[in-house]
Amino acid sequence: MALVVLMLGLPQHVAQGISLVAQVPPTSLSGVIQYRRSGHLVAVRWVVLLSAGFIVGAVSGALAAGHISDIVLRWTFVGYLVLLGLLSLTRLKGSRDKAERPPVVLGIATLVGVGIVSGLSSGLLGIGGGLAITAILAAGLKVPQHVSQALALAVTTLPLTLPAAWVYATQDHGLPWWVIAGIVVGLWIGTVIGARLATLLSERTLRLMMPVFIFAMAAYMAWRAAHA
């Protein structure tokens, strides 16, 4: 979504609507398959609970976004990315080897809560909910990085953004469907390449890359917001 805003210069509300619609097709499925082949399996129970919370949060966020101006949404987007980046940085301290790490057990309330927060960010800001799921699970709840990313892809494979996308589509902003079609194709190709690269990298390398990526995106969005 950030790239849509930066490269096409579309209004924030329109860009967020595009982002949500583009996430409806199962473009992440190829990534889930790639992680599974590499031995990074995800618990179906976790996917179900995360998805339940995600839908509630996404619809609530989309409804709230309609009452917020473009410029406020842009700066909120930047602030949210900075928070996720800082959260990711905490994972770099005091990490232990995989063999020493006890298995993570998450309860129903925790998983649904993570889903709600991720869905809220997706509906309100158009950020792919997978980014929030990965950051919260990996950094906040100490779930292994590969597993967190595989879970995020599994959740975003489902058409969970459809209700929130419908909220945006029925508003006055309108959505350029030709742009959405191109983004869907790009997402499918990018997910295949990204998942293959991720499974070849160590968990520590992925943890190092994540805050760099998030802060870079936040810097771009801050620059755009300042010059809007």
Domain borders along the chain are 28-92+101-161+177-226
Residue 188: CB atoms within 10 A of its CB come to 16
Q: How far apart are CA 156 and CA 9, in angstroms?
A: 25
pLDDT at 116: 93
- pLDDT tens-digit profile, the chain (228 residues): 555 545 555 666 667 767 676 666 666 777 777 777 777 778 889 889 999 999 999 889 888 887 888 788 888 888 888 888 888 887 666 555 454 556 677 889 999 999 999 888 888 877 767 788 888 888 778 888 888 888 888 888 887 877 877 777 776 555 666 666 777 777 777 777 877 787 788 878 887 888 888 888 888 878 877 876
Q: Which residue has the tokens 């010059």?
A: 227
Tell me the helix, strand and coil percentages in the chain, rounded to 5. 75, 0, 25
Q: Which long-range contacts (CB under 8 A, 24 or more apart) does 133-141 make?
A: 133/50, 134/210, 135/84, 135/87, 135/88, 135/210, 135/214, 136/87, 138/88, 138/91, 138/207, 138/210, 139/87, 139/88, 139/89, 139/90, 139/91, 140/87, 141/104, 141/106, 141/110, 141/114
Q: Any idea which residue has 């079609």 for tokens?
A: 181
Amino acid at 9: G
- In this predicted structure, what is the pLDDT of residue 172? 55
Instruction: Judge whether 157 and 48 are in contact, CB under 8 Å.
Output: no
Q: What is the pLDDT of residue 5?
A: 47
pLDDT at 101: 58
pTM: 0.71
Rounded-to-integer distance, Cα 100 and Cα 54, Å: 32
